[in-house]
Chains A and B, each alone.
Chain A
């Protein structure tokens, strides 16, 4: 299938919008949310840690959806979207883990504990690091697309099973944060920041997708030139 290079469109504006939105959301939450009774200003980590974790879930869901779509429609662009979502999801996953550790050290007294959610988040990070390694080690585009589609879907299916198994194994983390489990003073800030990270996430996925697509178009053009055909218009 011959691919078309992406058109720049208005995505650059969306990028600027999401960066400004994130800065504003951070500024507002730091200004309006009172320090926590026990944690003080340490609580501000919440505004990146929790949105990063939520959006990581959205990214992995996108990987599964676009991988399924690829296997169904065999349109290479679906594979490139899945790959971009996996890249952004892995970065957010790493961010969630790193911020969680920075937060855990002063509040729980340890950098790491083998609790269900921490451990399953770490395992997801490793699963998707494997996914990205698979993509890096396979050159042929169709093969890479089919294999990584399978790996992406399996990774997503595995998450609930990993979570259950580690949870049975041992558990300690507090209940999941949601606007309803928080003091109302923090909910607006959390929601704002969740959307800020979501916009940034959409923008990054789009840019990575454009880069991947451009690279594939360049490969196809080169191939057509080498074969001496006038295949590309």
Chain B
């Protein structure tokens, strides 16, 4: 029963966040526009040679997703802090983990949509062709988004309630995300090249391991972080 109750609470929190996002749209639209802007800037830094741009596409698209995603993570708590909504949320009975799970779910949907837009934009801007291995590519996007969102949601719970949140979240988050970014970039690179060396598999298993480690660690540690 307890698990079912937690799941219902998590779903309610996620639904509330997504509904607020869907009704205003301002948050998602601006973050998605920022993602595309970052891609364009990468194009200036790397281009205009088509071959160089295509080679850099996997790195550029994951970094664009990361830079834009960071804003979303801080926002997801910031909207709660206005008007003291977070305190009210914490007053509800039931475990705090369900609150984290809800936030995580909402942020995950947000990041997944963001990555979808960034990937679509990079297909056009970076002359990337859809690889024949696209189901594996979808898996990489899914696992990469889980990795970014898990620690992003966790650290944002701290950073958004501190002074200097704009600098603190990236400073804490980016070094911790190095394995996800490397694995996602390398897997993407391998898959876009047709995965002739069969090394995408190793990177995908690294993504799975990272996601499993930090999903469990964040769920264990969230109580300590949110109650303070």
Binding site for B on A (CB under 8 A): 71, 123, 126-127, 129-131, 133-134, 137-140, 142-143, 145-147, 149-151, 153-155, 157-158, 161-162, 164-166, 168-169
B interface majority secondary structure: helix
Q: A137's contact among B168, B174, B214, by CB below 8 Å, is which?
A: B168
Closest A residue to B170 using CB positions: A130
- Can you list 22 A-B pairs, Cβ within 8 angstroms, ordered by A? A126-B171, A126-B174, A130-B168, A133-B167, A134-B158, A134-B172, A137-B164, A137-B168, A138-B163, A143-B228, A150-B154, A150-B225, A151-B155, A153-B217, A153-B221, A161-B206, A164-B179, A165-B179, A165-B206, A166-B182, A168-B203, A169-B182
B221 vs chain A, min Cβ distance (A) = 5
Q: B176's contact among A143, A154, A164, A166, by CB below 8 Å, is which?
A: A154
User: Are A157 and B213 CB-contacts (below 8 A) given A126-B175, A142-B228?
Assistant: yes
B37 partner residues in chain A, CB cutoff 8 A: none
A140 partner residues in chain B, CB cutoff 8 A: 228
Closest A residue to B182 using CB positions: A165
Cα distance A161–B151 when bound, in Å?
14
Counting chain B residues whose Cβ lies within 8 A of the other chain, the interface size class is 20 to 34
B144 vs chain A, min Cβ distance (A) = 13
B97 vs chain A, min Cβ distance (A) = 14
Q: Are B176 and A133 in contact (CB under 8 A)?
A: no
Cα distance A178–B146 when bound, in Å?
39
A143 partner residues in chain B, CB cutoff 8 A: 228
Binding site for A on B (CB under 8 A): 151, 154-155, 158-159, 162-164, 167-168, 171-172, 174-176, 178-179, 182-183, 186, 202-203, 206, 209-210, 213-214, 217, 221, 224-225, 227-228
Number of A-B contacts (CB under 8 A): 88
Q: Are A154 and B217 in contact (CB under 8 A)?
A: yes
Q: Are A127 and B175 in contact (CB under 8 A)?
A: yes
A136 vs chain B, min Cβ distance (A) = 9
B210 partner residues in chain A, CB cutoff 8 A: 161
Q: Are A155 and B225 in contact (CB under 8 A)?
A: no
A interface majority secondary structure: helix
A120 vs chain B, min Cβ distance (A) = 9
B155 partner residues in chain A, CB cutoff 8 A: 151
Nearest first, the 10 A-B pairs at minimum CB distance are A143-B228, A126-B175, A165-B179, A130-B172, A146-B228, A127-B175, A150-B221, A147-B158, A130-B171, A161-B179
B209 partner residues in chain A, CB cutoff 8 A: 161
Q: Are A165 and B158 in contact (CB under 8 A)?
A: no
